[in-house]
């Protein structure tokens, strides 16, 4: 990695924050990148929040004016449906708003062209029943992401991949996936910040593979899910650091 890289795709959970806790140094790292003229995208597999809500959370962690730099798995999932398609969405406001902006017709039950599952704390048996029956009726099955867990201040919590697995088991169908490390969110991110850069994350299995999909270098931080005891990892990182600030200082010589 060198200072000539001008695009930085940054994961959020485990890189910028852990639940309600700011990863130490992450606001300073983003400020250094912006001041050096590097393009930044905050790329999250969570479909929980809208871009404005993600920006508000970033602001609460000391990173301001970020809404235009946010890319979410919900935004990527919305690119996988056409305007006016009937979509049964199992998810939170981030997914529902992205689909509404796309022009999709949101339905809560019955026939649909697509079923999209994103993280929601309201997931229950009826959610699984409605999704399964729509898929059996011919709807395409789309997952915002397959992350089985995500890091919070008090440890790991179940992620969207757990919800998707339940629907997949019931429906007998595996989903197309919008989020990291797959092509839909890669296309959105490249369109925002460019064709060459570095993806910084805490998960080799999503962030590392996403870097490969993007054609970017992979920067692995040890401030989230992955720790020293997990090495070696695949894919092999281009660079490893304790946290984002360590990677940025190394790149910029700061």
* Alpha-carbon distances of 178 from 14, 72, 110, 170, 186, rounded to whole Å: 20, 9, 23, 21, 9
Report the first-to-last Cα separation within the chain, whole angstroms: 14
Alpha carbons 88 and 216: distance in angstroms, whole number:
34
- Measuring CA to CA, which residue among 133, 100, 96, 101 is closest to residue 116? 96
Catalogue all structural domains in the chain, each as residue range(s) with its CATH number: 7-74+180-252 (3.40.50.1000), 82-177 (3.40.50.1000)
Cα separations in angstroms, 8 against 25, 55, 59, 92, 232: 16, 17, 18, 27, 24
pLDDT value of position 19 = 80
| Digitized pLDDT (tens) for each residue of the chain, 254 residues in all | 445 668 999 999 899 998 889 999 999 999 999 999 999 999 999 999 999 999 999 999 999 999 999 999 999 999 999 999 999 999 999 999 999 999 999 999 989 999 999 999 999 999 999 999 999 999 999 999 998 987 677 878 899 999 999 999 999 999 999 999 999 999 999 999 999 999 999 989 889 999 999 999 999 999 988 999 999 999 999 999 999 999 999 999 86
User: In angstroms, rounded to a whole number, what is the distance separating the alpha carbons of residues 235 and 243?
Assistant: 18
What pLDDT is stored for residue 4 in this prediction?
Answer: 67
Tokens encoding 68: 């235009």
- Amino acid 253: pLDDT: 84
Report yes or no on whether pTM surpasses 0.85.
Answer: yes
Q: Between the CA atoms of 71, 145, 114 and 93, what dihedral angle is there, to the nearest 10 degrees?
A: -60
The gap from C-alpha 169 to its chain's centroid, in whole angstroms, comes to 23
CA dihedral (236, 237, 239, 245) positive or negative:
negative
Q: Output the pLDDT for position 239.
A: 96
183, 204 in Cβ contact below 8 A? no
Tokens standing for 145?
């992401």
Q: What is the CA radius of gyration of the chain?
A: 18
DSSP 230: G
The set of catalytic residues is 11, 13
């Amino acid at each position: 990695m060198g200072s000539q890289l001008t695009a930085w795709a940054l994961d959020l959970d485990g890189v910028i924050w852990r639940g309600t806790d700011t990863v130490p140094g992450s606001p300073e790292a983003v400020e250094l990148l912006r001041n050096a003229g590097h393009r930044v995208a905050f790329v999250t597999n969570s479909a929980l929040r809208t871009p404005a809500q993600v920006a508000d959370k970033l602001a609460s962690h000391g990173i301001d004016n970020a809404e235009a730099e946010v890319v979410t798995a919900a935004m990527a999932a919305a690119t996988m449906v056409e305007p006016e398609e009937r979509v049964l969405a199992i998810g939170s406001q981030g997914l529902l708003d992205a689909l509404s902006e796309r022009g999709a017709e949101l339905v809560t039950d019955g026939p649909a062209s697509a079923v999209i599952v994103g993280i929601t704390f309201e997931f229950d048996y009826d959610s699984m029943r409605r999704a399964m029956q729509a898929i059996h009726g011919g709807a395409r099955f789309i997952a915002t992401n397959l992350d089985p867990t995500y890091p919070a201040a008090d440890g790991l919590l179940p992620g969207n991949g757990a919800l998707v697995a339940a629907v997949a088991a019931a429906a007998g169908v595996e989903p197309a996936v919008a989020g990291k490390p797959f092509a839909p969110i890669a296309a959105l991110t490249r369109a925002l910040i460019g064709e060459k850069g570095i993806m910084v994350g805490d998960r080799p299995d999503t962030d590392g593979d996403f870097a490969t999909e993007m054609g970017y270098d992979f920067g692995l931080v040890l401030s989230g899910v992955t720790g020293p005891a997990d090495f070696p990892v695949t894919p092999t990182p281009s660079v490893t650091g304790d946290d984002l600030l360590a990677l940025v200082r190394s790149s910029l010589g700061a």
